[in-house]
């Protein structure tokens, strides 16, 4: 039978994705969802890659998810007379409100809203945290700072303010244009950058209006302070460790990652671990041992997906990076300790039929030696609930909505299939057993667990569990995908 990897792989497309064949190779190597990074590339670049993904999806006959990652606000300083200056510890350095050419004494900060939160003692980070300033005085012209950690500072480097809730919206004018463009294309997930509070997500959700699932990127300390509410509002979460490591300090990121994974599983939301997972493979054909351990530890902790960024966007060994990540995931998942960790993670199940049936499906599959759990789902909720239990067998998510099938490509353990809906018990069992056989998840006479809801086709009514045998009630019907 087919070996199903439970942890999903997300790959970022960039300059490397110059042909349909490149995307097809990535998909065949193991990519489940593709990320379009709207911080780079033109709309035409993204339109072309979106078309190639959908073409490959049709050829391979399996759903492929597409995530658009919005740029968000980029807080940058102005420019210098000679392109750069060298700052030394202890010197004074100003940030000006008004536009002027920068020098060794200061530079323009073209974000007047930031001066609203400036106060003596506030720490400012420049160039991804390589340079550290402390605000000494707030003046009419701007702020006067002391250099705490110096170095070379060049034009338009980024600025971070870790300790302040910034009066900046998560969605810029560029983001609003990009969002509408992506939604018209038909993206499946929208990743929102610069999230500080739940209200940032609520604003985006109103604009998306159900056309895509909403993903919150956790990359700011303020988001960490509001984690529980943010997870409730979002459809999924990304641990964006690169930016988070700048503002929240690297030593605190692992604890946030573990906490988020637990919290998302508790709330039945998929969670992605991202940034620098196989960073050395941008230029090398093999990863470091530390990187292999990093990927494995995310899987041991129960992450739904692991993500490649520059490794596939610009790296020299893109497909090899996917292959390495696939192998690490498979070997880790085969470790009995990995299954035990996931099975024994404390979870709170509510009193709903949905939760009861989902948990029972896992227990029945284990106790009766079933080869798969088949979840009929209209919105994806049933498949998500079964995934949350971390069953030891593959989860076949059957849905009549291709958009749901694509969104489920980011969910742990779910092998999604777009197929027509069922209207009675006989259809349910027949379709489940036929597709399990077709997808090589079970053989003749194997048992499977089937869960669904009555009335059939109605959302949120998971209330049936049935043990079926492959070969039972099968008829040669067309099970999709739908046109």
Catalytic, 217? Answer yes
Q: How far is CA 67 from CA 14, 47, 327, in A?
A: 13, 13, 23
Distance CA 13, CA 67 (A): 10
Distance CA 444, CA 183 (A): 42
Sequential DSSP letters for 105-171: TEEE---GGGGGS--TT-EEEETTTTEEEEEEEE-SSEEEEEEEE-EEEETT-BEE-TTS--S--SS
CB count within 10 Å of CB 379 equals 14
CB count within 10 Å of CB 242 equals 14
Determine contact, residues 77/159, Cβ cutoff 8 Å: yes
Catalytic, 399? Answer no
Q: For residue 126, which phi and psi values (nearest 5 degrees)?
A: -125, 150
Catalytic site residue from 217, 265, 269, 385 = 217
Determine contact, residues 80/152, Cβ cutoff 8 Å: no
Query: Which residues are CB-contacts of 39 (< 8 A; sequence separation ≥ 6)?
Result: 69, 71
Distance CA 348, CA 337 (A): 22
Q: For residue 284, which phi and psi values (nearest 5 degrees)?
A: -130, 150
Provide the β-strand partners of residue 414. 395
Catalytic, 431? Answer no
To the nearest 10 degrees (0 to 180), the angle between helices 289-301 and 253-266 is: 30
Distance CA 95, CA 101 (A): 11
Q: For residue 275, which phi and psi values (nearest 5 degrees)?
A: 90, 125
Catalytic site residue from 8, 35, 220, 269 = 35
Catalytic site residue from 20, 47, 48, 76 = 76
DSSP structural state of residue 2: P
Catalytic site residue from 7, 29, 108, 275 = 275
Distance CA 151, CA 89 (A): 9
Distance CA 452, CA 354 (A): 9
Provide the β-strand partners of residue 108. 96
Provide the β-strand partners of residue 76. 158
Q: Is the dihedral of CA 234, 237, 240, 244 positive or negative?
A: positive
- As given in the structure block, the two tokens for residue 73 are 């606000």
Q: What's the alpha-carbon Rg for the chain, to the nearest Å?
A: 24
Catalytic residues: 35, 76, 217, 275
């Amino acid at each position: 039978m087919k070996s199903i990897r439970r942890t999903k792989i997300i790959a970022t497309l960039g300059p490397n994705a110059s042909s349909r064949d490149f995307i097809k190779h990535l998909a065949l190597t193991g990519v489940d969802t593709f990320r379009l990074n709207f911080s780079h590339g033109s709309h035409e670049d993204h339109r072309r890659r979106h078309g190639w993904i959908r073409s490959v999806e049709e050829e391979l006959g399996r759903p492929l998810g597409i995530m658009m990652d919005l740029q968000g606000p980029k807080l940058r300083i102005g420019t210098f007379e000679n392109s750069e200056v060298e700052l030394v510890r202890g010197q004074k350095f100003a940030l000006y409100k008004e536009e002027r050419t920068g020098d060794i004494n200061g530079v323009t900060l073209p974000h007047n809203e930031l001066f609203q939160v400036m106060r003596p003692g506030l720490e400012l980070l420049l160039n991804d945290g390589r340079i550290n300033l402390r605000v000494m005085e707030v003046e009419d012209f701007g702020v006067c700072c002391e250099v705490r950690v110096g170095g070379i500072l060049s034009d338009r480097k980024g600025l971070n303010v870790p300790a302040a809730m910034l009066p900046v919206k998560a969605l810029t004018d560029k983001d609003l244009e990009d969002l509408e463009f992506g939604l018209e294309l038909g993206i499946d997930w929208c990743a929102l950058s610069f999230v500080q509070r739940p209200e940032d997500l609520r604003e985006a959700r109103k604009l998306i209006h159900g056309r895509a699932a909403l993903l919150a990127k956790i990359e700011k300390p303020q988001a960490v302070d509001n984690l529980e509410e943010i997870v409730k509002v979002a459809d999924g979460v990304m641990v964006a460790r690169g930016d988070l490591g700048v503002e929240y300090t690297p030593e605190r990121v692992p604890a946030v990652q573990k906490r988020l994974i637990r919290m998302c599983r508790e709330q039945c939301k998929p969670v992605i671990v991202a940034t620098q997972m196989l960073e050395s493979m941008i230029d090398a054909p093999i990863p470091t041992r530390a990187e292999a351990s990093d990927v494995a530890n995310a899987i041991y902790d129960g992450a739904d997906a692991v993500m490649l960024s520059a490794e596939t966007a610009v790296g020299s060994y893109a497909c090899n990076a996917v292959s390495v990540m696939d192998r690490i995931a498979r070997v880790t998942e085969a470790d009995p300790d990995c299954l035990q960790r996931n099975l024994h993670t404390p979870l709170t199940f509510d009193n709903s039929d949905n939760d009861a049936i989902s948990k029972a499906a896992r227990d029945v599959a284990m106790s009766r030696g079933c080869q798969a759990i088949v979840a009929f789902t209209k919105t994806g909720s049933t498949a998500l609930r079964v995934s949350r239990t971390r069953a030891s067998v593959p989860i076949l998510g059957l849905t009549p909505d291709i958009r749901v099938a694509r969104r489920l490509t980011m969910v742990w353990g779910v092998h999604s299939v777009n197929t027509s809906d069922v209207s009675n018990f006989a259809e349910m069992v027949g379709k489940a057993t036929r597709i399990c056989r077709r997808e090589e998840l079970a053989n003749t006479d194997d048992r499977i667990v089937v869960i669904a809801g009555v009335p059939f086709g109605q959302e949120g009514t998971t209330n049936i569990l049935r043990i079926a045998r492959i070969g039972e009630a099968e008829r040669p019907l067309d099970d999709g995908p739908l046109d």
